[in-house]
Structure 1
Amino acid sequence: MTTILANMQVSLDAADTLIDAALAEGQKRELLPLCVAVLDVGGHIIALKRQDGCGLLRADIAQGKAWAALAMGLNAATTGQRLSGNPGFLTAAIAASDGRMVPHSGGLLIIDADGRGIGAVGISGDTGENDELCARAGIAAAGLHVAPV
């Protein structure tokens, strides 16, 4: 299934709810400090928060995970998995994005009820799998949906 990006965007209120819920999930799980970025379909930041103690590159990595989801129209981990067998294309895609793509767990494409992409979230700070768990919790708390791929 291909997800088509829509003109509708994640609102600032929804982005704030998503971020706060994702950070709360990380605290509940006693994860390392997280950084959460929510981007619109053009790859621009709607909202970003970093917890105290978050590493220097976490904001860039969180944005890169969200950017990878938007760039390929797939969740970032899916992109990484699909391109792992084609390192030449993966390298070219990262270069074409000026290094913005981080195709790794924790970057999810946000869709509306009709399956249209309306933005993306990226989280960095703990393992990719834990980052993604928090992203999913945040998206659900905001009443939004995750692309199935």
Structure 2
Amino acid sequence: MAGVSLNKARTIVRKTIAKGRELELKPLSVVVLDAGGHVQAFEREDGASPGRFDIARGKAYGAVMLGMSGTAQMERAEQQAYFMNAVNGVFGGAVVPVPGGVLLRDAKGAVIGAVGVTGDTSANDAIAATAGIEAAGLTGEV
């Protein structure tokens, strides 16, 4: 199975941050994970708080581990909080079930990783992530 190349991961990070600057968002932190949940690339903009890595990773980690976008995870948490609480227990509290966690899919639709963005509102984080993913020629599931 093909994964997220370092070049594509760097493109996602760079273009996500560029979109954040274009939209005048608060400083963003962006992580790209491979299909196994391992960090492929990460950047934290100047002015972003130091805890943002864990939040960005948690958004992406939940997406890739559950095969569900952050938006879908949030909806599930609202409908079945016990399920998301259990999932978070299984994954050591590492899941952040909100928008800004975006599944990455290749041209055939296979999950190849996830992107996590944090720093502004969750909706704006997802918009910036989508711009980065599209710039890398991949498909994101918000």
Q: TM-score range by the shorter chain?
A: over 0.9
Task: Provide the C-alpha distance between the structure 2 equivalents of 1:114 and 1:143, rounded to a whole number of angstroms.
Answer: 13
Aligned to 2:11: 17
Q: Which moved more, 1:120-129 or 1:87-96?
A: 87-96
Tell me the amino acid that sits aligned with residue 95 of structure 1: G
- State the superposition RMSD in angstroms: 0.9
Please say if 1:133 is aligned against 2:130: no
Deviation at 1:83, TM superposition (A): 2.8
TM-score by length of 1: 0.92
Aligned-residue identity in percent: 44
Unpaired runs of 5+ residues, structure 1, are 1-6
Question: Is the Cα contact below 8 Å between 2:103 and 2:114 reproduced in 1?
Answer: yes
Please say if 1:35 is aligned against 2:29: yes
Runs of 4+ that moved beyond 4 A = none
Residue of 55, 69, 74 corresponding to 2:63: 69
Alignment of 1:90-129 (within 5 A): 90-129=84-123
Deviation at 1:138, TM superposition (A): 0.2
Task: Provide the C-alpha distance between the structure 2 equivalents of 1:61 and 1:85, rounded to a whole number of angstroms.
Answer: 22
1:38-93 Cα deviation digits (max 9, x unpaired): 00011100000000010121110000000010111011121121231111111111
Unpaired runs of 5+ residues, structure 2, are none
Aligned residues: 142
Question: Is the Cα contact below 8 Å between 1:67 and 1:120 reproduced in 2?
Answer: yes
TM-score by length of 2: 0.97
Task: Provide the C-alpha distance between the structure 2 equivalents of 1:76 and 1:129, rounded to a whole number of angstroms.
Answer: 10
Deviation at 1:114, TM superposition (A): 0.6
Task: Provide the C-alpha distance between the structure 1 equivalents of 2:90 and 2:77, rounded to a whole number of angstroms.
Answer: 15
